[in-house]
Amino acid sequence: MTIQFNDETFRGAYTFKNSEWALKRFPFPFHEDSYMYSVNMEQHKGGPAGSIYEKRFDVDEHYLSEMRDRAEVLKEDPLRCQSLPNMTLAGWDLLELIMVSKSEDYPDMFELQRKGDKWRWINKPMGIDDSFTFLDEATLPFGPMEYITRQTQGDFVVLDQRDENLWMDAGMVTTQADWSLDFDIGMNFFEWHAPVPKAHEMGIFVRALKFLLNVQQGAPARRLNWTMTVNPLLDTSPENYHKWGTQKRTITANNIGEKQHLRVELQTFFRLPRSNALVFPIRCYLASFDDLMTVPKWGRRLHRVIRDLPEELATYKGFIDNRPMMLDYLSKFDDGKPTSNGIWPDRETEPLRD
Amino acid sequence: MSGSEKINVKVSKIVLLNDLVTRFEFKRIDGELFPTFSGGAHTIVEMKDGGITRRNPYSLMSDPMDQHSYAISVRRDDEGRGGSLFMHNNVKVSDDMVLSYPVNLFSLDLRAKKHLMIAGGIGITPFMAQIKQLDRSHGNWELHYSARSPSLSAYADDLVSMHPNDVHMYYDSENKSIDLENLLDGQPLGTHLYICGPKGMIDWAVGQAVNLGWPNEVIHYEEFLAPKPGKPFQVMLSASNKLVSVGETESLLEAIEREGVDAPYLCRGGACGQCETVVIEAEGEFIHMDHWLEDKEKLSRKKIMPCVSRFDGKTLVLDR
Ligand code: FES
């Protein structure tokens, strides 16, 4: 196996860490020195070798630990995984999409054998070897969506498409940035987006919806989104705000570099063929400020972006109170030099800082 | 980003079903499996007809689970611009063709307790795939299918013999027509209505359902407009700075594509909204054929759907 999986936690002692490999492929979300909310969609058709864009469902060193974390969240709160009755077929669609993609993209780790509707799925990292009948729920230990998303990093929202709208009718959501499946289940696109400031006026959502309704089979799309999280906590759900919200106040000038994390979501969109539903995987990548600052370009840019971000966005993203402390820390890494375009570090011209 | 992903295929079988309708079956050239699809999806078939590339949408009517072949049924339209005539007259077994990935603008609402299907003529095709899909999941459906005569009712015999209780036939030649009012009246709560057929039938059925208080969310219909031939006209494409002549039997969209200008589309039948194009200047009459634009948009003379609509007049400048 090519990936060395970490044994780490996203809670308690927070032993989560990024290796140099993981940091090198971290999806730094700012392609210029400022940030504007936008839909910024592109086709999800591979990307540079080794990057998080390369495979349809990226597997990295955090895989096993993230799956352990998900199982724990589900044990405490089974409502993090829900599927309305009309979404069962879409669940099978998703299972098929992930099994086919992973077995093709990572043949050393995943194997799928199909004889008609008799399927065998081998997930070597997780030690799973299951045989089942496709489209027969009774042959799996969970519903098809739950079964496969207990084995796949990232949250999954499955949207039914009808009446020129998208409806959040199923999902597996345990690593969300402060939103709740249980609250949003059954809502349409406009209902679940309601709290975003300003963007609504810009007509951005109307355009985004139009784009998503037209995502076609065989032509998935992707975008990045970001926010801030104190401590490498995956499960920042409203249900648990009382547990993690208070952690924001534990930040000090001394520990900020280690505790403050940039949280980046790779959002992808796939049309599901048998159900015509849309699946929206939201994959979360975390990196501490200290780790990010090892890339000089990212240091300069993050400082400028955070400094110039409009107040309502900083509020919406939940770090307005800590912004002054962030800026104290980040400004030390901004020497005022110009930065190159695009998200990638300038490794050739500027080596990493220690 | 125009249309969708493409699949290279060979015509594997041609079956004459009756005087007007022929079924075409396709196999992939690369030997891979076809993508599965959802009942109601269509594919766009590319036809190299002399110098023109025609792209016509046809509902996929094969079993959505069958990944070894795709099938469509084409009704010959002697008055049309030639797409269906080309399929009937020129396409032979083992010809190479190009299909698009499936696109579904007429999918089943899987929340429905019952699916009530109304088909007219060749409008039967999307239901063929939907019925196969529903049978597999033990869905509750009922089909009311009207055709001109028994000899012109594609697949009626198969449907009736396989589903004697669920399929109801109506023939103009026998003066039998669907008693929609009674039919709708007797439906259980949670029934969804699906209609596919000629425009007159769709308007009639949708109108009846709305009058009886059926909410819009449970009424689904699909009507592909074949672009109609018309008088030739000229169009100026301002963004690409090209003056294009649109011939009698080609659509505005086809003419734009012929000039190498990439224009968006999905359904090519005036239904999806993808091809909506801004009109910069117009002196003359629009011939709007789509059912995407609202009436007031049509009157505003600011938008056109080039997949089906035409123009008659001196100047037309489009933002394309
Ligand atoms: S391509 Fe669908 S409306 Fe023109």
Segment A193-219, tens digit of pLDDT: 776 556 555 567 777 787 888 888 988
- The CA distance from B88 to B83, in Å, is 9
Q: CA A291, CA A17: separation in Å to the nearest integer?
A: 9
Q: pLDDT, tens digit, for every residue of B62-109?
A: 999 999 999 999 999 887 777 899 999 999 999 999 999 999 989 999
Domain boundaries for CATH 2.40.30.10 within chain B:
6-104
Q: Is the dihedral of CA B112, B115, B117, B122 positive or negative?
A: positive
- In whole numbers, what is the pLDDT of chain B averaged over residues? 92
Burial of A176 (0-12, 13-18, 19+ CB in 10 A): buried
Percent of chain B that is helix, strand, coil (3-state, to 5)? 20, 35, 45
Q: Residue A14 in 3-state DSSP?
A: coil
Nearest CB partner across the interface for A274, out of B38, B103, B109: B38
Q: Do B38 and A276 touch (CB under 8 A)?
A: yes
Model confidence pLDDT, tens digit, residues B108-164: 999 999 999 999 999 999 999 999 999 998 999 999 999 999 999 999 999 999 999
Q: Which of A11, A80, A222, A223 is catalytic?
A: A223
Helices (H), B45-93: 83-90
pLDDT in tens, A260-310: 999 999 999 999 999 999 999 999 999 999 999 999 999 999 999 999 999
- From chain B, the residues in CB contact with A273 under 8 A are 35-38, 102
Tell me the count of A-B CB pairs closer than 8 A: 60
pTM (2 d.p.): 0.87
pLDDT: is B264 or A193 the higher one? Answer: B264
Domain residue ranges of chain A, discontinuous segments joined by + = 20-249+263-285
User: Could you tell me the distance, in angstroms and rounded to a whole number, from the CA of residue A319 to the centre of ligand 1?
Assistant: 44
Candidate from B5, B110, B136 with C-beta closest to A218: B5
**Residue A274 falls in the annotated catalytic set:** no
pLDDT averaged per 10 residues in sequence order, chain A, 354 residues: 87 92 94 81 86 95 96 94 96 98 97 96 98 96 98 97 93 84 87 66 72 86 91 82 80 94 95 96 96 95 96 90 96 93 79 73
Is B38 exposed, middle or buried (CB count within 10 Å of its CB: 0-12, 13-18, 19+)? buried
- Taking alpha carbons only, the member of A333, A352, A133, A325 closest to residue A230 is A325
Backbone angles phi, psi at B222, to 5 degrees: -135, 130
Q: Where in chain B is the domain with CATH 3.10.20.30?
A: 233-318
Minimum Cα–Cα distance from B64: chain A residue: A274
Chain A, nearest residue to B63 by Cα: A274
Mutation target for A interface from B42, B108, B111, B218: give the one with most A CBs within 10 A.
Answer: B111
Q: What is the pLDDT of residues B184-211, one digit of tens each?
A: 998 999 999 999 999 899 999 999 999 9
What is the three-state SS of B260-307? Answer: CCCCCCCCCCCCCCCCCEEEEEEEEEEECCCCCCCHHHHHHCCEECCC
Least Cα distance to A181 among A149, A205, A213, A217 occurs for A149
Location of each CATH 3.40.50.80 domain in chain B: 114-222
What's the pLDDT band for B1 if we cut at 50, 70, 90? very low
Q: How far is the CA of B87 from the centre of ligand 1 (A)?
A: 21
DSSP state letter for A10: S
Given a contact cutoff of 8 angstroms between Cβ atoms, the answer to whether A305 and A296 are in contact is no
* Pairing mode, strands B114-120 and B191-196: parallel
Residue B3 pLDDT: 56
Please, which residues have CB within 8 angstroms of residue B87's CB and are 6 or more apart in sequence? B22, B24, B45, B47, B56, B74
Interface test with A, best of B110, B135, B217 (most A CBs within 10 A): B110
Smallest CA–CA distance, residue A35 to chain B, in Å, is 26
- Quick one: pLDDT at residue A268? 95
**Contact residues on chain B for A45, CB-CB shorter than 8 A:** none
DSSP structural state of residue A219: B
Residue type, A15: T
Give the gyration radius of chain B's Cα atoms: 20
- % of chain B beyond a pLDDT of 90: 78
The verdict on a CB contact (< 8 Å) between B4 and A219 is: yes
CB contact under 8 A, A162 and B217: yes
Give distance in angstroms: CA of B146 to centre of ligand 1: 27
Residues with C-beta less than 6 Å from any ligand 1 atom: B 265-268, 270-275, 290, 292, 305, 307
**SS3 letters across B215-254:** CHHHEEEECCCCCCCCCCEEEEECCCCEEEEECCCCCHHH
Q: Are the beta carbons of A222 and A269 closer than 8 angstroms?
A: yes
Q: At what angle do helices A323-331 and A296-308 cross, to 10 degrees?
A: 150
- Residue A20: its pLDDT value, please? 93
CATH homologous superfamily of B233-318 equals Beta-grasp domain (3.10.20.30)
User: Chain B residues with CB inside 8 Å of A276's CB?
Assistant: 38, 40-41, 104, 107
From A183's Cα to the closest Cα of chain B, the distance in A is: 20
Q: Is the dihedral of CA A63, A67, A68, A70 positive or negative?
A: positive
Q: Which of A233-237, B25-29, B213-217 shows the lowest mean pLDDT across its residues?
A: A233-237
Q: What is the DSSP letter of A176?
A: -
DSSP secondary structure string for all residues of A252-293: -TTTHHHHEEEEEEEEEEEE-TTT--EEEEEEEEEEEHHHHT
What is the C-alpha separation between A225 and A266, in angstroms, rounded?
7
In CATH terms, the superfamily for domain B6-104 is Translation factors (2.40.30.10)
Radius of gyration for chain A, computed over Cα atoms and rounded to the nearest angstrom: 20
Both ends of chain A: CA-CA distance in Å?
29
Q: Does domain B114-222 have CATH number 3.30.565.10?
A: no
Please, is A328 exposed, middle or buried when counting C-beta atoms within 10 Å of its C-beta (0-12, 13-18, 19+)? exposed
Closest CB from B102, B110, B217 relative to A275: B110
Instruction: Please state, in angstroms and as integers, the Cα–Cα distance from residue B238 to each residue in B110, B242, B299, B319, following that order.
Output: 44, 7, 22, 5
Asked if B20 contacts B48 with a C-beta cutoff of 8 angstroms, the reply is: no
Percent of chain B with pLDDT over 70: 98
Q: Provide the sign of the torsion angle of the four alpha carbons A176, A179, A181, A185, taken in this order.
A: negative
